[in-house]
Chains A and B, each alone.
Chain A
Amino acid sequence: MILSAQRLRSIGWLALLAVCGALVMILSFRVNALRSQVHRAEGQIVALKQQKMYLETEFETRANQQQLKAWNDLEFGYVAPVAGQYLENERQLAVLSKPAEPDAPAPIRVATVDDSVIAAAAFPALSGDHPAVRPLSETHEAESDDAGAGKPRSRPLDHAQATATLAEKLGTLHAATTHTVAARDEKREKHDKTTAKHTASVEKAASKASREVVARTKAGTKSARADARDGKGGTDKAKAKAKPPVKTAQKSARGDRKTGVKTSR
């Protein structure tokens, strides 16, 4: 019995040794296989780099200075920019602008990110409603724009919102914009709270709202054209009718385009 037990043990040891040996072998094989792969990858890198070099050289040859010059002479006729085409700083840019006229439409607002919320979270002392810390343009806007409904700026400060994630904020913004257009304030409040959880429903609402926007935009464009033909400027009408801001935006874009042409001349 003793002998057989000893024998068993030694056989066990041998088996263990064999298993270990086999495992080491497998590991070594795997390591070596991987090494070969690395070599192959290196070979591919070399081939690709050379190919890149060929292509780059071909490109450089086809687009060399003399060739570009020949094309420019024949096809494009570009010339070096002259002094009048350069602006050195913001002041020079500002010189080109025209002060706003009394009947000028409100500045275009396509989408707004409410900086005051973030700023208020970071600097509570500068909580946006104080007139001294508000930008001049906003003050002007507040005076001129009597409708004022549905502006994201006028929302109460929300500390939790300020610290929300980017995705949440984007969701909020998206929802806020569409609902401003559709003038559905009560739904927006709801969305603000539940955006993160109910993205699907928000998207549904948004698509519905955007369909409405398209419809209204078309209508707005037509009436804006009519206004422009009248030559009276449609801002007052728009305000009186409290049309959605999209219309105003369209008009002001036109107005700005006009101004832009004037300025550049």
Chain B
Amino acid sequence: MNQLTASAAIATGRVQLASVRQRSLVTAKVRVLVVAVGFVFLTLTALVRLTQLGLFEQAPDRRSLAEALLPPRGEITDRNGVPLARAFPSYSLWFNPKALGEKGNPLVKTPEEVARALMQIFPDADYKDLVARLKSGKGSYLRKRVLPEEANRVFALGEPALEFPRENQRYYPQGSLAANVLGYVDEEGKGHVGMEQVLEPRLLDPAQRGTPVELSLDSRAQGALEDELLRGMQESNAKGAAGIVLDVDSGEVIALASLPSFNPNRSDRAFNDLVFNRVSNQVYELGSTFKPITIAAAIDAGVVTDLSVRYPTAPLHIAGRTIHDSHNFGASLNVPEALIHSSNIVTAQVADKLGGPLLRQTMMALHMNQRPTIELPARGFPLWPHGENKAGDWSRITTMTVSYGHGIAVTPLHLACAYAALVNGGIWRPATLFKVDPAHIPAGTRVFKASTSARIRQLLRMIVADGTGRKADASGFRVGGKTGSAEKPGNGGYRKTSLVATFAAAFPMDKPRYVVIAMLDEPQGTAATSGQRTAAWNAAPIVGRVVPRIGPLLGVVPDGSRDVDISDLSPLIGNGEGE
């Protein structure tokens, strides 16, 4: 029994031992397998990742080239590709009070010292404002748009709290040049006033903003026009000045200036009276510059066929009003003499013969009864004489006053388009600020016959060669044009001392290419203008200085041996002097 039990016990012990060994072996194998599987898994994972990295993963910057170079707002250039407005990541000066840690003084020196140092770098800054900002302990802009060298000087102050973040801003490299055409962009990135406002959707459109918008302006001509206008304005102590250079064949505005102007880089200083555009928005009675239009209408209608016919120069008394001239030009004048001496009386008589309906029709064909046709948002509505009856027909006196540019107020741009039609063969075209492809010049509408236009070219040239526009006669440029000095209306009639002096010209008269208009608002008689305040003494010299500067740039070569042939009209001119 005992033996049996003992042997049984041994037998079980063996069995147990065998099974233990078996189990241990299995466990070990399982563990090895698990570890192996783990290693294999890790290796596989590493391999897969390696393959993935090697095959598919690319550089971290996934932005495409075009995307990276796309400006946040499209560029505006002139007709030669000179940038006038572009998105530019310029430096700004930011005060970060936490640059030196949360606690303690944010500045190394005292706020007053720092403000004083900043004042030396930016003399136009406000000292008190700077000190207040530096003391406030809040982060704020001390200045927007800082030049790199100014940033270097600020950096040299050794204040870590003064930082220079680069921010995308609108930048106008030419400063205040063509500011009235371009307009400005405010701090919210919204365009105002000029083409910035008009082109807003186009400049922000991701599909289009990569290509710059080409304007018709020529920055060199614009610079010359602004420069000479400013000089003329200062010499005559005028309140303001306006000027325009227009391509007579395409209607492209080559230069457009309104003074005083503003700097679009300082949008915070774009005040209303500076932003105001005198060329397209302000209407003026432009006076005698209308006379060539009246004469052209009369020649065109066959009312004036013989230019030697003489008209009496006695003052006219019509409907209780008297039309008189500035000077006495003798007993009678013919049409060329009337233009040369700028006679209201003779022009009124010609207009009377022409009749109100025809003159009105001509003025309407020249779009004098509508806002000027240009892309700018600010366009003034003319003061158009509505006539005395329901049909709007003009009375005799209205016809006569309109004939010499009174009783009708239009913008200088209206006048420029009308003069372009006068000299380019008789076709009126809308003015545009976009560069026009020579193959797609608008057809325009015919207002005058080509023969009339040729005659007017002769007459305008004679006015500059022998008449009131002599100071505009730039040597070799064959300038032709007409002066106009209109009194400004005030309380109880016209003010004798407040004039609008205009000179409307075109050059070269043998084949006109450009119309140039210079206008001065309320010029005074000064030593520089020989004490005179009329256009012959202040506006005409401006044109006389602008034309030689812009002519060669615009492809008009001065030539002393060439001119429009006025030999058939010369014998009609007497020796009288006039203004």
Contacts and interface: CB of A to CB of B under 8 A. Distances in A.
B43 to A, nearest CB: 16
B33 to A, nearest CB: 25
Contact of B223 (A28, A65, A81): A65
B475 A66 contact: no
B58 A65 contact: no
A109 B380 CA distance: 68
Nearest to A63: B173
B55 A32 contact: yes
B234 interface: no
Nearest to B550: A80
Contacts of B174: 60, 64-66
Contact of B54 (A25, A82, A83): A25
Interface in A208-242: none
Nearest to A35: B58
Chain B CB within 10 A, most for which of A35, A36, A66? A66
A43 B69 CA distance: 10
A137 to B, nearest CB: 29
A27 to B, nearest CB: 10
B59 A39 contact: yes
A69 B231 CA distance: 13
A86 B560 CA distance: 10
A61 B173 contact: yes
B83 A60 contact: yes
A46 B69 contact: yes
A88 B557 contact: yes
Contact of B475 (A46, A57, A83, A88): A83
Contacts of B176: 66
Contacts of A81: 552, 558
B219 interface: yes
A68 B222 CA distance: 13
Contacts of B83: 56-57, 60
Given A46-B65, A86-B557, A28 B54 contact: yes
Nearest to B171: A57
Contacts of A46: 65, 68-69
Contact of A82 (B56, B61, B219, B548): B548
B177 interface: yes
Nearest to A45: B65
A218 to B, nearest CB: 45
B82 interface: yes
A223 B549 CA distance: 49
Interface string A20-48: 00000100110010011001101101100
A64 B177 contact: yes
B476 A82 contact: yes
Nearest to B176: A66
B559 A80 contact: no
Given A32-B58, A46-B65, A83 B173 contact: no
A159 interface: no
A31 to B, nearest CB: 9
B379 interface: no
Contacts of A53: 86, 88
A36 B177 contact: no
B325 interface: no
Contact of B173 (A25, A32, A40, A57): A57
Contacts of B220: 65
B442 interface: no
A36 B55 CA distance: 11
SS of A interface (majority): helix
Nearest to A49: B69
A84 interface: yes
Interface string B174-191: 111100000000000000
Contacts of A64: 173-175, 177
Interface centre among A45, A46, A83 (most CB of B within 10 A): A83
Contacts of A83: 475-476, 558-560
B177 A66 contact: yes
A56 B370 CA distance: 42
A211 B475 CA distance: 54
Contacts of B219: 65
B558 A86 contact: yes
B65 A32 contact: no
Contacts of B552: 80-81
B375 interface: no
A88 B558 CA distance: 10
A28 B55 contact: yes
B177 A65 contact: yes
B175 A66 contact: yes
B227 interface: yes
Contacts of A86: 557-559
A45 B68 CA distance: 10
Contacts of A69: 223, 227
A57 B86 contact: yes
Nearest to A92: B561
A82 B477 CA distance: 9
Interface string A56-96: 11101100111011000000000011111010100000000
A79 to B, nearest CB: 8
A43 B475 CA distance: 55
B151 to A, nearest CB: 13
A10 to B, nearest CB: 23
A113 B56 CA distance: 63
A57 B82 CA distance: 10
Interface string B452-474: 00000000000000000000000
Contacts of B88: 53-54, 57
7 contacts: A32-B54, A39-B61, A43-B61, A56-B83, A65-B222, A66-B175, A86-B558
Interface of B: 51, 54-59, 61, 64-65, 68-69, 82-83, 86, 88, 148, 171, 173-177, 219-220, 222-223, 226-227, 475-476, 548-549, 551-552, 557-560
Interface of A: 25, 28-29, 32, 35-36, 39-40, 42-43, 45-46, 49-50, 53-54, 56-58, 60-61, 64-66, 68-69, 80-84, 86, 88
Given A35-B58, A60-B82, A60-B173, 4 more contacts: A32-B54, A43-B61, A57-B171, A88-B557
3 pairs of A and B residues whose beta carbons are closest in the complex:
A65-B223, A83-B476, A60-B173
